[in-house]
Amino acid sequence: MSGGLLVAGTTSDAGKSVVTAGICRWLVRQGVKVAPFKAQNMSLNSFVTTEGAEIGRAQAMQAQACRIEPTALMNPVLLKPGGEQSSQVVLLGKPVGELSARGYHGGRQQQLLGTVLDCLEQLRGTYDAVICEGAGSPAEINLRRTDIVNMGIARNAGLPVLVVGDIDRGGVFASFFGTVALLSPEDQACVAGFLVNKFRGDVSLLEPGLDMLHGLTGRKTYGVLPFRHGLGIDEEDGLRVSLRGAVRESVVAPPLGEDVLRVAVCAVPLMSNFTDVDALAAEPGVVVRFVDRPEELSDADLVIVPGTRGTVRALEWLRERGLADALVRRAAEQRPVLGICGGFQILGEHIEDDVESRRGQVDGLGILPVRVRFAREKTLTRPSGEALGERVEGYEIHHGVADVTGGIPFLDGCRVGRSWGTHWHGSLESDGFRRAFLREVAAAAGRRFVPAPDTSFAALREEQLDRLGDLIEQHADTDALWRLIESGAPQGLPFIPPGAPA
């Protein structure tokens, strides 16, 4: 077998990432050697591969679904927004500059098509199947000319396209039909059919609509996936939480001790790698919330200042909202605070930034004895070490270089009293360290909280990936899906007018 598939969506957040992961896990359980691929990703949630390349977290998660190590080939172009108008362009795992949206779509994107196709070809030469993920909608008619991630890659690589629609949002039939009808005849020929995602209720009530959709488009529906809680792992297009809501993946389980532990995460602008707190949310009795008001810190046992693509901007936001003063008071009262990456830099004394914000010298919150200078070269590493008597692994993605002048060493950062800071993302996924850290937090907060002795974040992640594979195996037409991956889109699919505008 040597095949491929592009999973597109009627909208952003239709479920492309998790469907792609589910198909990957289903295939690998059938003994197929499979890899994920996303030509171009826009995300502030990224990961560092073993070769020191930065790629989207979603592709790293999909590689885990395939039971392989992620590589830069799986996500050759990563865009990291730095504001409303510009993004850092990461090519083959390394930053190559900042571009405005107009500059990127005005020419730079099309120049990358050759690189993208070469990466895909290398994967297809190594694996039996490559499951590709699109971005946004394939019917963005204003961007089709320079598209390298949806129909552009499908056409150039000869990939069949499966369009995913989120029925929970409503309007899925119109979205399916409209998506196809806005594509050119050549693009429409690649669209094999549809997959309904997040369905609630009796599927027999949906079937007449699916039959009518088939009559209107000549394309079948390859499955109806039921709604399942807690499957939105390592997504990329936005927070899986409301701004001030609880993390959806929080385990609904009673604490082992007498108390729960409350964690408040400051919802700073351009928040990056908010997946760092998923491991905390997986602990029974730990309640994780994102907050944006100082009064919401008052009952928190631990406050986390997370990573951000705009450290100085996030610092200003904290000051504008009164959160900065609340953090300083909290640290002085010896109440636990953890800064991760950009959050670590914010907790320091001084920031010199001529790279990210170009604001020059800025005072930090002064909670930790750290001075930060932004370098043009980005640090991309996978460090490991010990902290609190436990083995820890993580990954670093930052321009800021920290000069730690005091405190107690903590990973690559430091600790002063009950305030900790580190550049290491992912450290809380190390089970022993996470338990030791939570015990310290609970003791400092005076909570009778006991970490579960057997919570394995890696095992929970595997369970989630298996659940995604189960969804595909149990609710998709896997025989038809297999033929699609192996043989491509059916021949003779009808054209649906009006097609793409000239």
Structural contact between residues 493 and 191, judged by C-beta atoms closer than 8 angstroms: yes
Q: What six digits make up the tokens of 431? A: 């089970």
Q: Characterize 216-243 residue by residue with b for buried, 16 or more Cβ atoms within 10 angstroms of its Cβ, and e for exposed.
A: ebbbbbbbbbeeeebbbbbbbbeebbee
Tell me, letter by letter, the H, E, C secondary structure of 46-74.
EEECCCCCEEEHHHHHHHHHCCCCCCHHH
The H-or-E segment that residue 344 falls in is: helix 342-347
Catalytic-residue membership of 132: no
- Alpha-carbon distance 302 to 285, whole Å? 13
Euclidean distance between CA atoms 11 and 458, whole angstroms: 30
Active-site choice (398, 399, 423, 425): 425
Label residue 409 exposed, middle or buried (CB < 10 Å: 0-12, 13-18, 19+).
exposed
One of 24, 266, 341, 414 is an active-site residue; which one?
341
User: Of 76, 78, 60, 71, which Cα lies nearest the Cα of 127?
Assistant: 71
Report whether 397 contacts 380 (CB < 8 A). Answer: yes
Contact 345, 335 (CB under 8 A): no
**C-alpha to C-alpha distance for 76 and 56, rounded to whole angstroms:** 10
Is residue 87 within 8 A of residue 80, CB to CB? The reply is: yes
Q: Is 474 helix (H, G, I), strand (E, B) or coil?
A: helix
Using the 8-state DSSP alphabet, how is residue 493 labeled?
Answer: P
| Rg over CA atoms, the chain | 23
Q: Is 341 a catalytic residue?
A: yes
Q: What residues are annotated to the active site?
A: 341, 425
